[in-house]
């Protein structure tokens, strides 16, 4: 008879089930943890998540220059009621759903429903400053018509301050606007490029001492707007802004550590143009693709090496022999190629003149991508595929191109600024991005003194 194993004879049978019991206990623990953590999908549920990975403990700075004058009970700048679009007018315009092309949205009906709710309820509080403030040029809207490459920043502030979204009661506010202008700071001789980080740090410190709103959320219900690329490093000495606040920026790249997708929002860089966009169809476009710009990046250098002398793809680094607008109007596809940054005004340029954008900029978080389906009116090409560019474009059938181009004509209204905002234009699209990022559960303002000193 075969002897039994000496190590097993003396053990109770229950020990044979220990591995099974441990596996079951582990599984139950995992299920419990999943159920527990599912309560913190704050952004997906529209609730503010104030976890430790978002809200950094504010560390007091030493020797902060008192460069910002915090004034109490200062009225907001004149809201310009004569130019404000009333909520009644908004309701009438929102009802005209034929103005919106279903094909360019992820979900048209959801957008329209939320858009109407946004216009009725979204409120924003702006930290007040007067014209006597020593940095009024940085903190107040410009008193001229914005222009140039970084006009989006100035246009947004001007439009916001005249809009029905503004509230003077912080208890009503869903969001708080940090009104400093990165572009203005860059040109201010008292600050300059190298002083922007200190200015922002000082500003955040001062409002956190004078008001309770920043400290109660660590800045999670605050936002600022910047279109110049220097804005991406402006928050390095104010990490609460970078990690907690909503950054509405033109230089929106997944590759940058300072940009947090879904928390932050991408704003289009738009060079303002007078008048309505031309009625540019798909006919009389005799050039396959067009690009003009500086040779200031490896990506553009690669484009130049492959297509500089091509008869169908027109690539220019220097002065054009024809007007820029004519080149855009006579091209089927217009190339947006990464330079120093992923963003340029070329996408908005292409849309304005009815040209289908080709985006060649890896890691670019495209503007309004939460709302618009970019596949319906543009193409995104990886930088590694630049040698295959002509082949890619020739593979697009005439019918598919016609649909892309029709959608371009429909979507370009969302990439325009107006002195008085118009429904669904760039201003309202940025506001909708903020609406998506608001916190539905607002943290109450303390009932004691409104200001802390």
Bigger pLDDT: 277 vs 67: 277
Whether 37 has a pLDDT exceeding 50, the answer reads no
Over residues 75-95, the mean pLDDT reads 45
Q: Quick: pLDDT tens for 329-365.
A: 999 999 999 998 888 999 999 999 999 999 999 999 9
Under the banding of pLDDT at 50, 70 and 90, the label for residue 258 is confident
Dihedral, 370, 372, 378, 382 alpha carbons, nearest 10: 10
Q: What is the mean pLDDT of residues 77-93?
A: 46
Q: How confident is the model at residue 445 (pLDDT cuts 50, 70, 90)?
A: low
Could you tell me which residue, 248 or 64, shows the higher pLDDT?
Answer: 248
What is the predicted pLDDT for the residue at 127?
A: 97
Greatest mean pLDDT range, 248-262, 273-287, 292-306: 292-306
How many residues are recorded in the chain?
453
The total of other beta-carbon atoms located within 10 Å of residue 78's CB is 9
Q: Is 364 helix (H, G, I), strand (E, B) or coil?
A: strand
Angle, CA of 280, 353 and 321, to the nearest 5°: 110
In this prediction, residue 22 carries a pLDDT of 74
Q: State what percent of residues in the chain have pLDDT above 90.
A: 63
Tell me 99's DSSP state.
Answer: G
Which residues neighbour 334 within 8 Å (Cβ) at sequence distance 6 or greater?
A: 289, 290, 291, 328, 346, 349, 350, 353, 355, 356, 357, 358
Flag whether pLDDT at 388 surpasses 80: yes
- Which pLDDT belongs to residue 40? 31
- pLDDT, residue 55, reads 28
User: Can you spell out the DSSP letters for 230-285?
Assistant: GGGGTTTT-HHHHHTSEEEES--BTTSTT--BTTBEE-------SSSPP---STT-
**Terminal alpha carbon distance of the chain:** 92
276 token code pair: 């309505």
Assign 81 a pLDDT band (cuts: 50, 70, 90).
very low
Task: Look at residue 38 and tell me whether its pLDDT is greater than 60.
Answer: no
Q: Are strands 331-337 and 287-292 parallel, antiparallel or unpaired?
A: parallel
Q: How far is residue 444's CA from residue 446's CA, in Å, rounded to a whole number?
A: 6
CB 201 within 8 A of CB 67: no
What's the CA gap between 245 and 361, in Å, rounded?
A: 26
Of 299, 180, 163, 162, nearest to 228 (Cα)?
Answer: 180
**How far apart, in whole angstroms, are the C-alpha atoms of residue 260 and residue 211?**
26
CB 205 within 8 A of CB 64: yes
Is pLDDT of 7 > 70?
A: no
User: What average pLDDT score do residues 413-442 get?
Assistant: 92
In order, the DSSP letters of 325-344 are HHHHHTEEEEEEE-SSSS--
* Averaged confidence pLDDT in the chain: 82
Which whole number is the average pLDDT over 361-379? 95
3-state secondary structure of 416: coil
- pLDDT higher than 80, residue 19: no
CA distance 381 to 129: 45
User: Higher model confidence: residue 385 or residue 31?
Assistant: 385
Give the whole-angstrom CA distance, residue 244 versus residue 248: 13
Cβ contacts of 295 within 8 Å, gap of 6 or more: 301, 304, 317
Residue 93 pLDDT greater than 90, yes or no? no
Please report, to the nearest 10 degrees, the dihedral formed by the alpha carbons of residues 216, 219, 220, 226 taken in order. Answer: 160
- Say whether pLDDT at 30 is over 70: no
Mean pLDDT over 146-163 rounds to 94
Contacts of 83 (CB under 8 A, 6+ apart): 162, 419, 420
163-176 pLDDT per residue, tens: 999 999 999 999 99
* pLDDT score at 453: 33
Q: Tell me: pLDDT of 177 over 70.
A: yes
| Separation CA 146–CA 26 (nearest Å) | 61
Question: 391: which 2 tokens?
Answer: 């082949």
pLDDT of residue 52: 26
pLDDT of residue 68: 44
Contact 206, 184 (CB under 8 A): no
How confident is the model at residue 24, as a pLDDT? 75
Q: 232 falls in which pLDDT band (50, 70, 90)?
A: confident
User: Is 80 exceeded by the pLDDT of residue 270?
Assistant: yes
Q: Count Cβ atoms within 10 A of the Cβ of residue 447 and give its class: 0-12 exposed, 13-18 middle, 19 or more buried.
A: exposed
- Residue 54 gets which letter from DSSP? T
User: Going from the N-terminus, what domains does the chain have, and what CATH number goes with each?
Assistant: 81-271+431-436 (no CATH), 287-416 (3.40.50.2000)
User: What letter does residue 292 receive in the DSSP assignment?
Assistant: E
Q: Is the pLDDT of residue 2 over 70?
A: no
Q: What is the band of 45 on the pLDDT scale with cuts at 50, 70, 90?
A: very low
Question: What is the per-residue pLDDT for 64?
Answer: 35
pLDDT at 139: 97
Q: For residues 261-273, give the mean pLDDT.
A: 93
pLDDT at 250: 92
Judged against a pLDDT cut of 60, whether residue 411 lies above it is answered with yes
Distance, in Å, from the CA atom of 49 to the CA atom of 40, rounded to the nearest integer, reads: 7
Do the Cβ atoms of 221 and 176 come closer than 8 Å?
yes
Q: How confident is the model at residue 155, as a pLDDT?
A: 96
């Amino acid at each position: 008879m075969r002897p039994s194993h000496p190590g097993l004879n003396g053990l109770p049978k229950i020990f044979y089930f220990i591995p099974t019991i441990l596996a079951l206990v582990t599984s139950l623990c995992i299920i419990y943890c999943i159920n527990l953590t599912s309560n913190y999908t704050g952004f997906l549920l529209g609730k503010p998540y104030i976890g430790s990975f978002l809200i950094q403990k504010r560390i007091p700075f030493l020797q902060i220059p008192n460069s910002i004058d915090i004034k109490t009970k200062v009225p907001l700048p004149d809201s310009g009621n004569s130019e404000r679009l009333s909520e009644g007018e908004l309701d009438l315009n929102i009802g005209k759903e034929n103005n919106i092309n279903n094909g360019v949205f992820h979900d048209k009906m959801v957008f329209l429903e939320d858009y109407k709710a946004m216009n009725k309820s979204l409120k924003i509080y702006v930290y007040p400053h007067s014209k006597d403030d020593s940095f009024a040029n940085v903190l107040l809207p410009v008193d001229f018509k914005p222009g140039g490459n970084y006009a989006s920043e100035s246009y947004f502030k001007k439009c916001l301050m005249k809009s029905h979204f503004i509230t003077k009661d912080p208890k009503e506010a869903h969001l708080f606007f940090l009104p400093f202008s990165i572009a203005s700071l860059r040109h201010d001789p008292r600050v300059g490029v190298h002083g922007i980080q200190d200015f922002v740090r000082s500003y955040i410190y001062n409002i956190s001492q004078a008001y309770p709103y920043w400290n109660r959320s660590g800045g999670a219900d605050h936002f600022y707007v910047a279109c110049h690329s220097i804005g991406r490093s402006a928050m390095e000495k104010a990490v609460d802004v970078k990690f907690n606040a909503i950054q509405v920026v033109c230089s929106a790249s997944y590759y940058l550590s300072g940009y947090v997708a879904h928390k932050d929002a991408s704003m289009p860089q738009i060079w303002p143009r007078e008048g309505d966009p031309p009625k540019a169809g798909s006919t009389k476009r005799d050039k396959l693709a067009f690009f003009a710009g500086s040779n200031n990046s490896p990506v553009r250098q690669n484009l130049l090496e492959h297509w500089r002398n091509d008869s169908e793809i027109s690539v220019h680094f220097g002065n054009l022999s024809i007007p820029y607008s004519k080149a855009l109007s006579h091209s089927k596809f217009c190339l947006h190629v990464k330079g120093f940054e992923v963003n340029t005004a070329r996408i908005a340029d292409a849309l304005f003149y009815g040209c289908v954008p080709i985006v060649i900029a890896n890691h670019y978080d495209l503007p309004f991508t939460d709302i618009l389906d970019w596949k319906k009116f543009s193409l995104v090409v990886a930088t590694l595929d630049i040698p295959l560019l002509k082949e890619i474009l020739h593979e697009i059938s005439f019918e598919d191109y016609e649909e892309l181009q029709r959608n371009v004509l429909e979507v370009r209204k969302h990439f325009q600024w107006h002195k008085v905002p118009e429904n669904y234009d760039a201003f309202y699209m940025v506001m909708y991005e903020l609406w998506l990022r608001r916190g539905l559960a607002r943290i109450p303002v303390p009932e004691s003194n409104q200001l802390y000193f």
